[in-house]
């Protein structure tokens, strides 16, 4: 659990940094997306990430079932536990399952374009997949923004306990080193959560980077959200 969790935290940090390219504008984000798409390490990295995530999920479910089996009747009172433990550690399985559902939604949403993504087929002026236009058009929807913010806050709760417990799980018990590493871990987790929460909010409020008018692939079926995004871009270019 600890090793796969640490690997996923590192991925979340890199993923968050890449997403922030949207604040630099269409060219920066679309160029980054094209670089990822053409990188020969993309699919090995995806398969490795899938293996980490699947193993982490399976271990979490197995651990929760094992704990429940070991103590089928709960404590009469949990007043002996610190409030932080009651709020975080007792909710790890629940927040983990919610995050799993969000990951599936996120892949269907932005990676496969299968959910609420009428701007998925738009291309930019250089013929690249207009990831910038897709992200901006979708984060104009308050329901989508709200779902992402809520999911990231739950992720923060999940990681808050993980950041405090992984050293003990790995058997590292050096007081000074543990305190320093916990602080570093908390700082990394805070950056991940703040970055992922602020991005959809900033885009919704109109603080995304500058953009030029995109072009559409011939015959592409563009829905109302994409049409509004294109119309706004056209008005800004005049």
Alpha helices in the chain (DSSP H): 2-19, 26-38, 42-70, 83-88, 92-106, 131-138, 142-169, 175-205, 224-237
What tens digit of pLDDT does each residue of 90-101 get?
Answer: 677 788 888 999
| Mean pLDDT estimate for the chain | 80
38 — pLDDT class (breaks 50, 70, 90): very high
In angstroms, the CA 49 to CA 37 distance is 16
What local confidence, expressed as pLDDT, does residue 131 receive?
93
């Amino acid at each position: 659990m600890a090793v796969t969790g640490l690997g996923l935290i590192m991925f979340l940090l890199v993923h968050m940094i890449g997403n922030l390219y949207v604040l630099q504008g269409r060219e920066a984000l679309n160029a980054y997306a094209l670089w990822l798409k053409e990188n020969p390490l993309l699919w090995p990295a995806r398969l490795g990430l899938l293996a980490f995530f699947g193993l982490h999920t399976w271990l979490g479910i197995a651990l929760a079932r094992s704990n429940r089996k070991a103590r089928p009747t709960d404590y009469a009172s949990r007043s002996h536990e610190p409030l932080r433990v009651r709020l975080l550690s007792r909710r790890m399985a629940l927040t983990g399952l919610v995050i799993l559902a969000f990951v599936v939604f996120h892949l269907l949403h932005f990676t496969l374009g299968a959910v609420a993504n009428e701007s998925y087929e738009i291309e930019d002026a250089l013929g690249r997949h207009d990831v910038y236009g897709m992200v901006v058009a979708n984060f104009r929807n308050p329901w989508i923004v709200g779902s992402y913010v809520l999911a990231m806050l739950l992720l923060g709760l999940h990681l808050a306990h993980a950041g405090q417990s992984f050293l003990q799980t790995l058997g590292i018990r050096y007081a000074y080193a543990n305190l320093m590493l916990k602080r570093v871990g908390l700082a990394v987790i805070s950056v991940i959560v703040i970055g992922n929460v602020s991005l959809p909010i900033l885009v919704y409020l109109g603080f995304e980077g500058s953009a030029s008018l995109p072009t559409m692939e011939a015959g592409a079926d563009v829905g109302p959200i994409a049409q509004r995004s294109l119309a706004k871009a056209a008005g800004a270019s005049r």
